[in-house]
């Protein structure tokens, strides 16, 4: 039986020389326990396919190696379908945050229990003990100016303490019931996890708000790295087109999204498309990671990029809808936007203000769901028309809830909605538009072409959304009112106007 040498002898032997036994090998006296630790680090029982759905739109596919039910390590899946010979591949998809996700999973800092600000929790326990009834307890807090001020002033200062699940559930339920009883259920707004992350969680939250009569806000309202304007205007969900289609772009404006940091698995499409000669413009107040890939950097003043967007809109409308007409753009907005729909104007002293959409019921049309069908002006028949696809068509089981430019209700096919009444108006009136700038509220007064209709014995003026938009954006078409004369005019919303606010040269904005 071999006996281990004494510890002192082992230590002395540790500093001994290695014995070379071949040109490529040697017999070493050193211990190899570290290798066992290394091998155990990469041992696993099985591999599970999953993704990291924590507020990330990447949805990268990962191989998670599991040992004794514990995540040991993760690697990227490499079996994505190919994009073809003319485009970069999607894989490997993943980022350093995903590779280290198991650290987050088992982190001692991970929140596993409910936490409430100490000031509020103390008030809640005292009130509940005094009142007995949870709703009465919540009422005693929020309707007492001193108590309400005490817990509201604690916001933003930390001070969270661990609470019991039952206490938190009761507090939330009491606050909801109080709000419903006092202000109505439509004063309750809620968020829910994004559908792409967890459809079960999303459906549960959405259904709950629906059942109590509350309102579900879009997750785009708080998502910092997705385009809220796109789904709110066009009605689609998530980025359109998908990230690989960036590679088909010839001109890109990257605005409000630091792609290498927050869209890490997709950022290579943005980087690689530059090899094809694509021009990239980056809009950012700081020299962020995505700026270094741009041909032009617009260092807009922090918080002022809205002014830059307004000036860009002014230029687009002026150049491509007024000075010249591009059939593609015109046909697109007629079919896919509300620009040709008619809006009723409200009398406001000797001026007017934009009101609500004109409906079929306002014209006395004997149609089903007439109060839900909005109106356009058909240039072919020179009369009012109800295009397919309005919300009033949604409940009809006749297949007319589509975007074909037909007026099925009035048996007219191939209608041509008018974008503007200019040149065929009954009159021109001054419409007032509120304008907020540097904390001051002003009113812009600009002429708008209108048509007149009779309603309840009174003359009511209507105009198109497009005409209102041009007036709001200050696009001069020779109409009366406070319109800017050119791009160098300092009136809202010209390139010169934004230059003083954003610091971006007016020629660059134009």
Whether residue 247 sits in one domain with residue 176: no
Return the percentage of the chain with pLDDT > 70, whole number: 89
Which three-class secondary structure state does DSSP give residue 94?
coil
Residues 6 or more apart in contact with residue 18 via CB below 8 angstroms: 26, 27, 28, 29, 30
Opening angle at CA 380, ends 379 and 381, nearest 5? 100
DSSP structural state of residue 52? -
Whether residue 372 sits in one domain with residue 252: no
Please provide the average confidence, as pLDDT, over all residues in the chain.
Answer: 88
Q: Are 299 and 285 in contact (CB under 8 A)?
A: yes
CATH number at residue 80: 2.20.25.90
Q: Does residue 41 fall inside a structural domain?
A: no
Grade residue 350 by pLDDT with cuts at 50, 70 and 90: confident
pLDDT, average across residues 326-341: 92
Q: Does residue 324 fall inside a structural domain?
A: yes
Whether residue 283 sits in one domain with residue 143: no
Whether residue 280 sits in one domain with residue 186: no
Least confident of 101-110, 423-432, 483-492, 499-508: 101-110
Whether residue 385 sits in one domain with residue 440: yes
Whether residue 129 sits in one domain with residue 101: no
Which three-class secondary structure state does DSSP give residue 455?
strand
Q: Does residue 306 fall inside a structural domain?
A: no
Spatial distance between the Cα atoms of 428 and 430, rounded to a whole number of angstroms: 7
For residue 257, pLDDT over 60 is answered with yes
Return the higher-pLDDT residue of 309 and 349: 309
Boundary (domain end) residue, out of 105, 129, 151: 105
CATH number at residue 209: 3.40.50.740
Most confident residue range from 28-32, 110-114, 195-199, 472-476 = 472-476
Q: Does residue 124 fall inside a structural domain?
A: yes
For the entire predicted model, the pTM comes to 0.76
Residue 224's pLDDT is 53
Whether residue 326 sits in one domain with residue 189: no
Least confident of 197-206, 314-323, 378-387: 197-206
Spatial distance between the Cα atoms of 449 and 46, rounded to a whole number of angstroms: 71
Residue 204's pLDDT is 87
* 49-74 pLDDT, tens digit each: 988 866 676 788 999 999 999 998 89
Range of the domain at 63: 46-105
* 354-404 pLDDT, tens digit each: 999 999 999 999 999 999 999 999 999 999 999 998 989 988 877 778 888
Grade residue 416 by pLDDT with cuts at 50, 70 and 90: very high
Whether residue 492 sits in one domain with residue 399: yes
CATH number at residue 265: 3.40.228.10
Residue 277's pLDDT is 93
Whether residue 101 sits in one domain with residue 120: no
Whether residue 390 sits in one domain with residue 268: no
Opening angle at CA 204, ends 134 and 391, nearest 5? 110
Whether residue 286 sits in one domain with residue 192: no
* 431-471 pLDDT, tens digit each: 999 998 877 788 999 999 999 998 888 899 999 999 999 99
Total domains in the fold of the chain:
4
* 166-185 pLDDT, tens digit each: 999 999 999 999 999 999 99
For residue 476, pLDDT over 60 is answered with yes
- Name the strands in the sheet holding 296-298, side by side, starting at the edge strand that comes first in the sequence: 251-255, 279-283, 296-298
Q: Does residue 333 fall inside a structural domain?
A: yes
For residue 229, pLDDT over 70 is answered with no
Return the higher-pLDDT residue of 7 and 89: 89
For residue 196, pLDDT over 70 is answered with no
Q: Does residue 291 fall inside a structural domain?
A: yes
Q: Does residue 305 fall inside a structural domain?
A: no
Spatial distance between the Cα atoms of 86 and 84, rounded to a whole number of angstroms: 6
Whether residue 284 sits in one domain with residue 428: no
For residue 286, pLDDT over 70 is answered with yes
Q: Are 27 and 34 in contact (CB under 8 A)?
A: no
Q: Does residue 39 fall inside a structural domain?
A: no
Q: Is the dihedral of CA 129, 132, 134, 135 positive or negative?
A: negative
DSSP structural state of residue 494? S
Closest-CA residue to 255 (of 219, 291, 295, 293): 291
Residue 378's pLDDT is 95
Scanning 49-144, the segments in alpha helix (DSSP H) are 96-99, 101-105, 118-131, 134-142
Closest-CA residue to 340 (of 398, 403, 426, 433): 403
């Amino acid at each position: 039986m071999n006996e281990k040498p004494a510890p002192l002898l082992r230590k002395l032997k540790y500093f001994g020389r290695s014995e070379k036994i071949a040109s490529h090998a040697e017999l070493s006296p050193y211990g190899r326990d570290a290798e066992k630790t290394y091998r155990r680090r990469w041992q696993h029982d099985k591999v599970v396919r999953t993704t990291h759905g924590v507020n990330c739109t990447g949805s990268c596919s990962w191989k998670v190696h599991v040992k004794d039910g514990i995540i040991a390590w993760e690697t990227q899946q490499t079996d994505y379908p190919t994009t073809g010979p003319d485009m970069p591949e999607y894989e490997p998809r993943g980022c350093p945050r995903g590779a280290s996700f198991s650290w987050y999973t088992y982190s001692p800092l991970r929140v596993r229990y409910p936490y409430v600000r100490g000031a509020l929790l103390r008030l809640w326990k005292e009130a509940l003990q005094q009142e007995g009834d949870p709703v009465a307890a919540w009422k005693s807090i929020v309707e007492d100016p001193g108590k309400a001020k005490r817990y509201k002033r604690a916001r933003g200062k930390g001070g969270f303490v661990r609470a019991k699940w039952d206490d938190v559930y009761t507090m939330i339920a009491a606050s909801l019931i109080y709000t419903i009883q006092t202000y109505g259920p439509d004063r309750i707004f809620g968020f829910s996890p994004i559908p792409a992350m967890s459809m079960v969680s999303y459906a549960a939250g959405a259904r709950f708000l629906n059942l109590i009569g509350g309102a579900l806000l879009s997750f785009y309202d708080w998502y910092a790295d997705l385009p809220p304007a796109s789904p709110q205007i066009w009605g689609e969900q998530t980025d359109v087109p998908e990230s690989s289609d960036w590679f088909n772009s010839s001109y890109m404006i990257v605005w409000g999204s630091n792609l290498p940091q927050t869209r890490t698995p997709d950022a290579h499409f943005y980087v690689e498309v530059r090899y094809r000669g694509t021009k990239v413009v980056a809009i950012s107040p700081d020299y962020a990671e995505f700026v270094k890939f741009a041909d032009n950097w617009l260092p807009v003043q922090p918080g002022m990029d809205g002014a830059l967007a307004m000036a860009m809109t002014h230029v687009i409308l002026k150049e491509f809808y007024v000075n010249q007409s591009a059939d593609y753009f015109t046909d697109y907005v007629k079919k896919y936007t509300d620009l040709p729909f008619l809006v009723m104007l409200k009398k406001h002293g000797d001026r007017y203000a934009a009101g609500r959409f004109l409906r079929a019921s306002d014209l006395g049309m004997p149609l089903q769901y007439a109060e839900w069908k909005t109106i356009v002006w058909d240039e072919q028949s020179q009369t009012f028309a109800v295009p397919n696809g309005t919300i009033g068509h949604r409940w009809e089981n006749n297949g007319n809830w589509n975007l074909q430019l037909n007026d099925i209700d009035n048996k007219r096919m191939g209608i041509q909605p008018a974008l503007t009444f200019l040149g065929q108006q009954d009159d021109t009136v001054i419409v007032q538009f509120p304008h907020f700038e540097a904390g001051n509220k002003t009113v812009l007064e600009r002429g708008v072409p209108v048509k007149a209709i009779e309603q309840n014995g009174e003359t009511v003026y209507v105009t198109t959304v497009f005409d209102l938009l041009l007036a709001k954006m200050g696009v001069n078409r020779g109409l009366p009112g406070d319109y800017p004369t050119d791009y160098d005019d300092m009136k809202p919303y010209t390139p010169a106007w934004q230059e003083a606010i954003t610091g971006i040269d007016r020629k660059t904005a134009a």
